[in-house]
Copies of this chain bind each other. A is one copy, B any other.
Amino acid sequence: MPRTKEQYEEMRNATRDKIRSAAMQLFVHQGYGSTSVQDIADTAGISIGLLYRHYRTKDQLLNELVGYAVEGLKRNIRSFESDQSPKQLIARFIDEVYTDLSNGEELANLLILINQALFASAGTDSQLHEEILQVNARLLDATAQLIRKGQQLGEFRLGDAKEMAVYFYASIQGLAEMKILLKSNFQMPSPSVMTAFLFKVGE
């Protein structure tokens, strides 16, 4: 008799992992359109045929990867809707971003992937494109809300909260890209630099 269900599932999971990380790496580092399926299979160390047993199209593969990234964003929205002090929430978030961007490429990859997916699906009105934009809008709103609360508490600098939220995420996105593009020449700004435009006091 052949292998058990569990053994087969384990095998399948292992190759799916290989495919996902190869695709992530390539999509992020050279762009979706410039990455061929052959590329992905080679990087994953498997055959094209096997890749297609797991993902019906190149597009579906991108969609799955982006799906995970979008989940991450949603978790963030939830955490920002907490009742804790805005300053603490933002400070904790920035600390996480700082350590993630300092140590590994995972967060940078997620952020860039979402970006790539948005550009790649620009003309088409795919479900995914719309969903990303929508989640993004909600994230910006939740953050602006948090900033407003912080301003009322006197912890945050004054200024248009929505604009500050836009600037907040724009800078994180920019940092992610710089990290990947500049490689070892990238020097991650410390949390105090990143929050200086938000928090009062400082020095």
Binding site for B on A (CB under 8 A): 29-35, 115-116, 118-120, 122-123, 133, 136-137, 157-160, 162-164, 166-167, 169-175, 177-178, 181-182, 185-190, 192-194, 196-198, 202-203
Contact = CB atoms under 8 A, between A and B. Distances in A.
A157 B31 contact: no
Contacts of A29: 119, 122-123
A186 B189 CA distance: 25
A190 B30 contact: no
Max chain B Cβ within 10 angstroms of own Cβ: one of A116, A172, A175: A175
Given A182-B133, A187-B166, A196-B197, A122 B157 contact: no
Q: For chain A, what secondary structure do more than half of its interface residues adopt (helix, strand, loop), or is it mixed?
A: helix
Contact of A163 (B160, B173, B189): B189
A119 B186 contact: no
